[in-house]
């Protein structure tokens, strides 16, 4: 200890005399004389700051002074300690990463920082103030516990690895197989997270038996994988993911939850993209909760904060250029007649006018994929990629919610299959909810509009806020769900988290005042 026992009283007297100066150096608040912390409290504060890694933060970012400095420079030590504490409390309250490009979902509530600064400097136990700030977001205890376990796993050498197959035809480990190398490795990997399996002594360690099958299914379900017991490439990729990646994921989750906006009282829609879920919320109550299909990694669903304004019945699909080039052109080359039967029409601009072209007259093999000279449109109908309903929320990315004829995909755990828009498991349920309060509209009229097979639209009397967010760690009902980082956004977040100075938001553009400007009143759906 820097203040040896024989000098303890002298150190205490000196530190007490300089603590008000230290507080002033760290901020405007002044330590009340009755609340001056004793030497043990200061050491506890220093120890708590050195344990910031339990909160997902890096203690090295906060210039925590060495305890030995207290003897040589008590005033400087106290000032540096409080400065480090306030920097840490600020990050615990507001989140260390407050801005990332392309992440409008990272929103923070305004925090009453002066009140917390006064609390820190006025407390006889400042370490406890740091802990209070750390535990403020709901679910923090559960995330910190998971982070502690993940760090312990890293220190123990990581997860047991399941080796790849020596031959391509046995890549998947099938239930019932006997394999003296891969099955024991699989058992060890699952047992590392499954106490029931770890307690079992198998009759034949090389056999993929029923006990191991049940455990693998539990493990797959916990990781949002198809729980069929077949250990193929998708399951193996998650099993062999480095333990350090789990640590990074939980650090991101802890920081994202700080100063998270409180639920608004009105209705709103939230789509958590990597969780493949949509919720219609009213305050903290979920009125609807359904599976969704989101964009595949190469066509990621953008994160947005928009407003749903319109519902379109029997929508046609104006095919975006990329979809036309990468998806439709190969299908037209294979069988243009089948594409006609699915309602696709082809157009071309000739002399400045859009002219419909007979798909059977086109030499599709000669069309350059890089310069497709045609426009494609799919008429409303049973085969329409948009199904029977489209929920319009105007945005520059032309992203919307819609029905789909491919209902079987909702049974999959990984549902990143779309070209960016969001396909709904239960569009009729959402339709009924969003039409509430719209004069002249009820479920019967909506059914009639759908049955007419005609394209029509209705503006919502109560437009709904819609947020597309990205959270791979979900805390609900006292349980933690971890989802894959399908777009690599957690990886980008943790890089920002580990920068000594996290990225700052650019200054807002100057407000433009346009005389006579009016908000758009119509939406043109493609």
CB-based contact 400:423 (threshold 8 Å):
no
Which one of the listed residues 3, 61, 121, 402 is annotated catalytic? 402
CB-based contact 141:477 (threshold 8 Å):
no
Q: Nearest 5 degrees, angle CA 337-CA 343-CA 345?
A: 80
Indicate the SS3 state at residue 166: coil
Q: Tell me the C-alpha to C-alpha distance, in Å, between residue 257 and each of 22, 142, 388, 426, 471.
A: 31, 12, 37, 29, 10
Q: Compute the distance between CA of residue 413 and CA of residue 209 in angstroms, rounded to an integer.
A: 24
Q: Are strands 344-350 and 353-357 parallel, antiparallel or unpaired?
A: antiparallel
- Identify whether 402 is a catalytic site residue: yes
Which one of the listed residues 3, 61, 121, 421 is annotated catalytic? 421
Q: Nearest 5 degrees, angle CA 207-CA 210-CA 215?
A: 100
Cα 229 to the chain's mean position, in Å? 27
Q: Tell me the C-alpha to C-alpha distance, in Å, between residue 376 and each of 296, 354, 401.
A: 22, 12, 20
Q: Tell me the C-alpha to C-alpha distance, in Å, between residue 330 and each of 263, 366, 373, 385, 517.
A: 46, 12, 15, 17, 44
Neighbours of 358 (CB within 10 A): 10
- Identify whether 121 is a catalytic site residue: no
Question: Annotated active-site positions, please?
Answer: 402, 421
């Amino acid at each position: 200890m820097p203040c040896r026992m024989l000098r303890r009283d002298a150190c205490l007297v000196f530190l007490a005399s300089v603590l008000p100066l230290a507080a002033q150096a760290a901020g405007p608040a002044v330590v009340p004389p009755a609340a001056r912390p004793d030497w043990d409290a200061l050491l506890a504060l220093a120890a708590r700051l050195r344990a910031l890694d339990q909160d997902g933060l890096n203690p090295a970012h906060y210039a925590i002074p060495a305890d030995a400095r207290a003897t040589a420079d008590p005033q400087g030590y106290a000032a540096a300690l409080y400065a480090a504490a306030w920097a840490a409390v600020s990050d615990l309250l507001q989140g260390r990463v407050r801005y990332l490009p392309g992440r409008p979902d990272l929103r923070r509530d305004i925090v009453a920082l002066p009140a917390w600064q006064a609390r820190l400097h006025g407390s006889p136990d400042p370490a406890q103030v740091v802990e209070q700030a750390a535990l403020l977001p709901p679910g923090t205890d559960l995330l910190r516990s998971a982070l502690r376990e993940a760090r312990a796993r890293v220190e123990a050498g990581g997860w047991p690895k399941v080796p790849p197959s020596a031959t391509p035809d046995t890549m998947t480990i099938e239930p019932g197989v006997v394999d003296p190398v891969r099955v024991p490795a699989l058992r060890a990997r699952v047992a590392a997270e499954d106490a029931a399996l770890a307690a079992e002594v198998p009759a034949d360690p090389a056999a993929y038996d029923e006990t191991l099958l049940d455990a693998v299914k539990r493990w797959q379900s916990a990781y949002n994988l198809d729980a069929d017991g077949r250990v193929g490439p998708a399951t193996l990729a998650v099993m062999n993911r480095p333990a350090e990646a789990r640590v990074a994921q939980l650090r991101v989750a802890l920081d994202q939850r700080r100063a998270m906006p409180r639920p608004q009282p009105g209705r709103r829609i939230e789509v958590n993209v990597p969780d493949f879920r949509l919720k219609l919320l009213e305050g903290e109550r979920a009125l609807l909760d359904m599976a969704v299909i989101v964009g595949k990694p190469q066509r990621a669903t953008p994160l947005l904060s928009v407003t749903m304004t319109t519902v379109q019945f029997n929508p046609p699909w104006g095919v975006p250029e990329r979809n036309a080039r990468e998806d439709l052109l190969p299908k037209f080359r294979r069988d243009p007649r089948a594409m006609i039967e699915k309602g696709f029409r082809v157009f071309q601009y000739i002399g400045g006018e859009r002219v419909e072209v007979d798909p059977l007259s086109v030499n599709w093999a000669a069309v350059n994929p890089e310069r497709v000279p045609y426009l494609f449109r799919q008429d409303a109908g049973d085969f329409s990629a948009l199904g029977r309903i489209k929920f319009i929320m105007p945005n520059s990315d032309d992203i919307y919610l819609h029905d789909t004829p491919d209902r079987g995909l909702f049974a999959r755990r990984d549902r990143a299959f779309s070209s960016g828009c969001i396909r709904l498991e239960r569009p009729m349920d959402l339709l009924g909810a969003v039409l509430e309060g719209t004069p002249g509209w009820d479920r019967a009229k909506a059914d009639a509009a759908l049955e007419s097979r005609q394209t029509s639209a209705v503006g919502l009397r109560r437009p709904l806020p819609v947020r597309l967010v990205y959270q791979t760690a979900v805390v609900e009902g006292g349980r933690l769900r971890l989802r894959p980082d399908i777009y690599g956004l957690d990886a980008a977040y943790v890089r920002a988290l580990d920068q000594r100075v996290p990225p700052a938001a650019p200054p807002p553009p100057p407000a433009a005042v346009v005389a006579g400007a009016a908000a758009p009143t119509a939406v043109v759906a493609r």
